[in-house]
């Protein structure tokens, strides 16, 4: 499918071989600078490369993850860069999304407040059975932490999200984040 903005799309698909191949549209939300692009690039390319920003408007990257039960999940990841400037596109971002990642930076309580705004937006526009993850990124900068894990965990529970702290820089918990989403996705019932 073409992306909405007519900008570059990079695909990095592994070919799924097995019977149970799931596909999910995943949207990324969060304040600018919290590390959304770096999380995606770490997951898709296995690199931490803050200089290679590929997202403009509504492009997406895709990556397939193989789970232990031989299910594969193809993530179509929409990095909603510039989402506030493109408010009119919001319905397009949320439409058909089966999962969402709301990111904040553990060293910025402002970004945590902003995350809560995005959670409300998701609750307003998204499908009620969407899998939602609250992600505290830049966990490597724990010496400058200003959002406690406990506060974030409690907030996540109140909003039926799961919570995880990651570092796109060290790769800590990045795969786990996507695996947790994959595990929670509804499985098609056999006919
Ligand atoms: P986005 O605007 O949310 O997409 O944020 P970016 O992915 O562009 O990252 C913003 C800045 O944060 C860049 O300078 C990255 O180098 C830095 N960054 C991203 N993730 C991490 C992380 O896990 N740890 C550290 N220390 N810096 C990070």
* CA separation for the pair 30, 166 (Å, rounded): 14
Task: Tell me the β-bridge partners of 27.
Answer: 78, 100
CB-CB contact of 64 with 16 (8 Å): yes
Gap between the Cα atoms of 142 and 119, Å rounded: 24
- Ligand 1: atom nearest CA of 55 is 4
pTM here is 0.86
User: What ipTM score was computed for the predicted complex, to two decimals?
Assistant: 0.99
Mutation choice for ligand 1 from 28, 32, 33, CB with most ligand atoms inside 8 A: 33
For ligand 1, residues with CB inside 6 Å are: 30, 32-38, 50, 137-138, 140-141, 167-169
CB 88 within 8 A of CB 80: no
Highest mean pLDDT among 35-49, 120-134, 142-156: 142-156
Under 8 Å CB-to-CB from 165, ≥6 apart: which residues?
106, 135, 136, 137, 139, 149, 152, 172, 173
Our CA angle for 100, 58, 141, nearest 5°, is: 55
Which secondary-structure segment (H or E) carries 109?
Answer: helix 109-125
Under 8 Å between Cβ of 69 and 52: no
| Euclidean distance between CA atoms 111 and 104, whole angstroms | 5
Output the 3-class SS for 75-88: EEEEECCCCCCCHH
Ligand 1 centroid to 31 CA: how many Å? Answer: 11
What does the angle CA 157 – CA 185 – CA 163 come to, to the nearest 5 degrees?
25
Confidence of residue 59 (pLDDT cuts 50, 70, 90): low
pLDDT tens per residue, range 94-143 = 889 999 999 999 999 999 999 999 999 899 888 999 999 999 999 999 99
Residues 152-188 have pLDDT tens digits of 999 999 999 999 999 999 999 999 999 999 999 988 7
């Amino acid at each position: 499918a073409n992306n909405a903005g007519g900008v570059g799309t990079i695909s990095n698909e592994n070919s799924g071989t097995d019977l149970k191949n799931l596909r999910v549209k995943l949207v990324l939300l969060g304040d600018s600078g919290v590390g959304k692009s770096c999380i995606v690039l770490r997951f898709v390319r296995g690199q931490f490369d803050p200089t290679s920003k590929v997202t403009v408007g509504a492009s997406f990257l895709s990556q397939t993850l193989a789970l232990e039960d031989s299910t594969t999940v193809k993530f179509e990841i929409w990095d909603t860069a510039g989402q506030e400037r493109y408010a009119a596109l919001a319905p397009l971002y949320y439409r058909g999304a089966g999962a969402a990642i709301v990111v904040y930076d553990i060293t910025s309580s402002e970004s945590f407040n902003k995350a809560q705004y995005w959670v409300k937006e998701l609750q307003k526009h998204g499908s009620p059975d969407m899998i939602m993850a609250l992600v505290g990124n830049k966990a490597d900068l724990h010496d400058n932490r200003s959002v406690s894990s406990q506060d974030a965990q409690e907030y996540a529970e109140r909003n039926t999200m799961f919570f995880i702290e990651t570092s796109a820089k060290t790769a800590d918990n990045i795969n786990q984040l996507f695996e947790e989403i994959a595990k929670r996705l509804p499985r098609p019932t056999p006919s």
